[in-house]
Amino acid sequence: MAAEVLSGGAVRVDLYDAMPSVGRKFLLAGKGGMNITHSEPYPEFVKRYGQRAAQVAPWLERFDAGAVRAWIHGLGVDTFIGSSGRVFPTDMKAAPLLRAWLQRLRGAGVQFHMRHRWLGWNDGALRFATPDGEIAVQADAVILALGGGSWARLGSAGAWVPLLERESVALAPLRPSNCGFDTGWSAHFSSRHAGQPLTTVAITSTNARGEQVRRQGQFVITATGVEGSLIYALSADLRAQIDAGGSATIYLDLAPDFSVQRVHDEVTRPRGARSMASHLQSRLGIKGVKSGLLRECLSAAEFADTERLAAALKMLPLVLKAARPIDEAISSAGGVRFDALAPTSMLLALPGVFVAGEMIDWEAPTGGYLLTACFASGRAAGSGALAWLARR
């Protein structure tokens, strides 16, 4: 995006990438369906950036979800809005969109240099490791769009952190975002239910402002804990709770389609010779992994107490002990702090050097919000660099 803005400003643009081809994480984001942005109203959209909403808003004001869709259409790719409000290319694929984009950039004169890994500076020149040895490049303006710390095999390994620390750039530690969490399952539960989805459930948790938040959706049981879209949507607050207190507790509603009273009535209804497990399946549809969770999280005495069991079906406490490693996360938090940046996205410690994307300290849930802000930040950095060059 930065290259697109700059090439439209009649300057020479060279794009250096450490990988053999560009856009590898972009292509991964499109695996299973390219969710490019979201259609919800702007006031709700910008709230998805949580504690960084005020800092991300200036990017989005210049390039919002509607602008993203118009940009895609300009590349000859149609889009549609899914039932969840998420926006997708009509064919659901990332590769055709990326091909059309690269063709336009090359047509605008952007030069691509692959297998060039940035090593920092030497006397003001950019150092790159290449298959033919190290080279030095002089540039009038530099934009760093180096990604966060997740998915190292696709290029975003956070290797730039010590390079910027050496230049006195203020950074926040890179942390996993949109990630799974460890719970400490018993071997019995893990062996029986790892990989199974929990559909039609709701989670109640506490956000950064101390407010209770309830979300409904689905997630997956893993060998060590939980992951999936419903967990990812809450991951920033859950991570903060673990940092502050060593653990975070979420409360599962295993029967969100039934009221508290209905669940109570069905659980306490006389069941004759049937087992409680059979009774719960016939009256409330609780079976499989949901039944296993009750056994995992409740003691035998609690499971046998119909009052406690009924309450647990609507508010089953689950303790999360740690976030999964950052390289497993969909995205990362942390990076270049906003107070290290000018409004133009230029590093205050390094005049003429601009930053964009996930290497800046913001985060957002999945659903198109990550890509939209990355696009918008790239355009902001490109515009900042153009203004810098014009002043010179």
- For the segment 337-355, what is each residue's pLDDT rounded down to a tens digit? 999 999 999 999 999 999 9
379 CA to centre of own chain: 20
CA distance 45 to 56: 11
0.95 cut: is pTM over it?
Answer: no
Tens of each residue's pLDDT in the chain, 392 residues: 999 999 999 899 999 999 999 999 899 888 878 999 999 999 999 999 999 999 999 999 999 999 999 999 999 999 999 998 999 999 999 999 999 999 999 999 999 999 999 999 999 999 999 999 999 999 999 999 999 998 888 888 899 999 999 999 999 999 999 999 999 999 999 999 999 999 999 999 988 788 899 999 999 999 999 999 999 999 999 999 999 999 999 999 999 999 999 999 999 999 888 899 999 999 999 999 999 999 999 999 999 999 999 999 999 999 999 999 999 999 999 999 999 999 999 999 999 999 999 999 999 999 999 999 999 999 999 999 999 999 98
- The predicted-structure confidence for 164-212, as pLDDT tens digits, reads as follows 999 999 999 999 999 999 999 999 999 999 999 999 999 999 887 888 9
What was the pLDDT predicted at 146? Answer: 95
What was the pLDDT predicted at 174? Answer: 96
Q: Which DSSP string corresponds to 88-125?
A: EETT--SHHHHHHHHHHHHHTTPEEE-S-EEEEEETTE
In the DSSP assignment, the letter for residue 347 is: B
What was the pLDDT predicted at 244? Answer: 92
CA distance 129 to 119: 7
What was the pLDDT predicted at 30? Answer: 80
Which run of H or E residues covers position 388?
A: helix 369-391
**Joined tokens for residue 312:** 């647990």
261 DSSP β-pair partners = none
Residue limits of CATH 3.50.50.60 in the chain: 2-176+330-391
What was the pLDDT predicted at 131? Answer: 97
What was the pLDDT predicted at 164? Answer: 98
CATH 3.40.1080.10 fits 2-176+330-391, yes or no: no
Alpha carbons within 13 A on the beta-carbon side of 311 = 7
CA distance to 140, 168, 342, 381, per residue, from 350 (Å) = 12, 9, 11, 14
The contacts of residue 85 (CB under 8 Å, 6+ apart) are 38, 39, 40
